[in-house]
Amino acid sequence: MAIWALVTGASEGLGREFSTLAAKDGFDVILTARQTDKLQAHAASLRRAYNVAVEVIPADLTDPVAVERLWDAASEGRQIGVLVNNAGLGRNGDITEDGGWPREADSIAVNIIAATILLKRAAAHMKGHGAGRILNVASVAGFLPGPHMAIYHASKAYLLSLSEAVAEELRSTGVTVTAVCPGPTATQFFASDGAERKTLATRLGMPSAESVAVAGWAAMTRGRRVKVVGAANKLLAFLPRLLPRRMMAFFVGISLKKRW
């Protein structure tokens, strides 16, 4: 029986790269996001390049009912061997700013609720098959409180904690859960985060989506629980163990200010 990989947020950035790596490794692939044209074009190029089956299932992950439907459609008559919970978004701006809530609500719905539903459904399905790999795309932000991007950082802290806990619950079942924690990466993420000005992160050089996805995919394949990508991000993830939390929040807040 063919083994399938389900990749969310596969129309752009990291998700596109993860789905390419899945096809390269011989998985049949299910691509999901909202931009159907981009998904269809990507599906055609994966079929041509890797001779695997590729299905497109468009879904808006802000709607929990659509997320359940997505899983049902993806897993109907198929063994899902890999779930890449990649779709995510954030907003750079203070919590008191007017007009931020629709995007913040969407980030909670996609980064937390949709990721949790898919993790829960995939974990049960994979446990039943005695095998599977779940890759949750968290962030180095998950280690740090993020003034001016507070909800996004909190959502990634949630996903990181959830991943580590569920990885332990699934120990000895054949199912692994990996949280990959990139730092700022060259994708559409910053173009679409609602920031009119640049943050410090976007002023500094960013690694390619391809290199970050390769690191995350390799960690997942090895069954690692947490992978922080890049030396500077490893240091950032370690600093909260050394510095008072209030001091961390102060420094992160400076880096996330929109006036760089």
Q: Residue from 4, 71, 143, 189 that binds ligand NAP (CB under 6 A)?
A: 189
Does the footprint of ligand NAP cover residue 11 (CB under 6 A)?
yes
Radius of gyration of the CA atoms of the chain, in A: 18
Does the footprint of ligand NAP cover residue 185 (CB under 6 A)?
yes
What residues from 161 to 180 belong to the interface with ligand NAP (CB under 6 A)?
none
Q: Residue from 2, 24, 26, 35 that binds ligand NAP (CB under 6 A)?
A: 35
Smallest distance, ligand NAP to C-beta of residue 128, A: 26
Q: Is 152 a catalytic residue?
A: yes
Q: Residue from 25, 55, 60, 68 that binds ligand NAP (CB under 6 A)?
A: 60
Q: Is 156 a catalytic residue?
A: yes
Smallest distance, ligand NAP to C-beta of residue 116, A: 13
Q: By CB under 6 A, which span of 19-27, 60-68, 73-81, 245-253 interacts with ligand NAP?
A: 60-68
What residues from 133 to 152 belong to the interface with ligand NAP (CB under 6 A)?
137, 139
Does the footprint of ligand NAP cover residue 34 (CB under 6 A)?
yes
Q: List, in order, residues 6 or more apart from 146 with CB less than 8 Å away.
A: 152, 153, 154, 252, 253, 256
CA-nearest of 215, 207, 216 to 189 is 207
Which residues would be at the binding site for ligand NAP (CB under 6 A)?
A: 9, 11-15, 33-35, 60-62, 86-89, 106, 110, 137, 139, 182, 184-185, 187-189, 192
Q: So which residues are the catalytic ones?
A: 152, 156
